[in-house]
Structure 1
Amino acid sequence: MSATETTRLQVDLDEFVAREYPKVVAAVGMITGSPRDAEDAVQDAIVGYLANPPQREIRNLAAWITVVASNRVRDVQRSRGAESRALATVGVSDESVDSVVEGLDVDVVKALDQLPLQQRQVCVLHYLLDQSVQTIAEGLGVSEGTVKTQLHRARTTLARLIERGNHRG
């Protein structure tokens, strides 16, 4: 992308944010029936616009972002629906899933969210689901040594993050 094209994208986006952003968020919320997801979806659409600009010229950026964000919210809603149906099929309610997370210390949940994916996976499988290192290795398709290494790194990082969190408040 040329410097001129980058500048044009930035000008278009700056103008959009200054004039259209609140209206687009409200519109996406009304279209999808999910005002709480609308802002995240609009922001995702903006990031997508910057990261991978459309090949064709966009005449109305607000309309384009509204459509992209609305589609994103509907995708999220379909995913949530599929997840709820899958949980219902095996006899687990959303409330019971939420209660497990609510039973955890807030600092632990925040610290887990900051771990890299594989470390978070092995921690949850090992400590919350009481899975063995061997079972985790088989499930993730990695060696037992990798699982042990990831557990060690995760414990070290969690201890640091939780300790830092306890000194703030």
Structure 2
Amino acid sequence: MDIEDETRFREFVGARSKALLQTAYLLTGDWEHSRDLVQGALASLARRWGQLTDPQRAEAYARKAVYHAHIDKTRRLAWRRERTTAAVPETPSPDADPADTVANREEVMAALRRLPPGQRAVVVLRYFEDRSDAEIAEVLGIAPGTVRSQHHKALKALRVTVSPNSTREAEVA
């Protein structure tokens, strides 16, 4: 990577790493695991940086790498029967009862963690990144019909596990 490419890459990382980390956290519920996913995605992106001249393509590549790394890691953990756990950090809103806000967030995060990785990725892309079926299909490398099917199954599971009186910030459907 030449100096100009390295400068552009550093600017990209500075501008987009926080958003990538937030997405990874929504997928994993674990800040350390999220950092690992983003670091791996950015390392992969750095190797291909010269081929990705358009910043939007670079971001799409990085996001796709985060989603695929998460799905792969989740499959490996399931295979080895390991489970990661982490406490959800508390950031209550000033107008809500802090106990309710934290409880609702924990309830939603726990429900998301129980979803299979593909369904969880679809939910995060749809509700937290506001992506269309076509965009989700492109990011995950699956058919739009599969996106709709995964979305339907995920919402069905979430409706069973998330209480209907959760606050707005905890709503995913």
TM-score band, normalised by shorter chain? 0.3 to 0.5
Of the two structures, which has the highest relative contact order with CA contacts closer than 8 Å and spacing of 6 or more? Answer: 2
* TM-score scaled by length of structure 2: 0.39
- Greater Cα radius of gyration, structure 1 or 2: 1
